[in-house]
Amino acid sequence: MSRFVHPDLKQVGLPVALHALADPVRLAMIAKLAEVGSLNCSATCPEQPIPKSTLSNHFKVLRAAGLVETRAEGREMISHLRRDAFEARFPGLLATVLANRTD
């Protein structure tokens, strides 16, 4: 049984999705997942160190927006981008945001 909540994207509104994508750290995490697919949660961190509690909160926001799905594999948490499902709900949004990031 998963201990993470992954919403049905039909229930996710545009303000929630935009809020998740508005933070530069979360956007960097999404960009990394978009490049490589599934990763250990700590491997998605940008270069600067982030406390585990902050990283956990970022993933909670991304899951609530329907952007990532996280599963436990042993002691590791593996996340992957729900790109196809998110694209079906918000056509073009993720691609546009990723193409226009500045960092």
Q: Please check whether residue 101 is in contact with residue 86, taking contact to mean a CB–CB distance below 8 angstroms.
A: no
What is the reported pLDDT for 1?
41
| Domain map (residue ranges) of the chain | 21-99
What is the reported pLDDT for 66?
93
Rounded to whole angstroms, how far apart are CA atoms 27 and 57?
A: 14
| pLDDT, mean of residues 71-87 | 90
The string of pLDDT tens digits covering residues 46-77 is 667 788 888 889 999 999 999 999 988 888 88
What is the reported pLDDT for 49?
78
The percentage of residues in the chain with a pLDDT greater than 70, rounded to a whole number, is 89
Which pairs count as long-range contacts for 48-51, CB under 8 Å and 24+ apart, including other chains?
Answer: 50/25
What is the reported pLDDT for 42?
66
Q: Does CATH number 3.90.1150.170 belong to domain 21-99?
A: no
Its pTM surpasses 0.95: no
What is the reported pLDDT for 8?
87
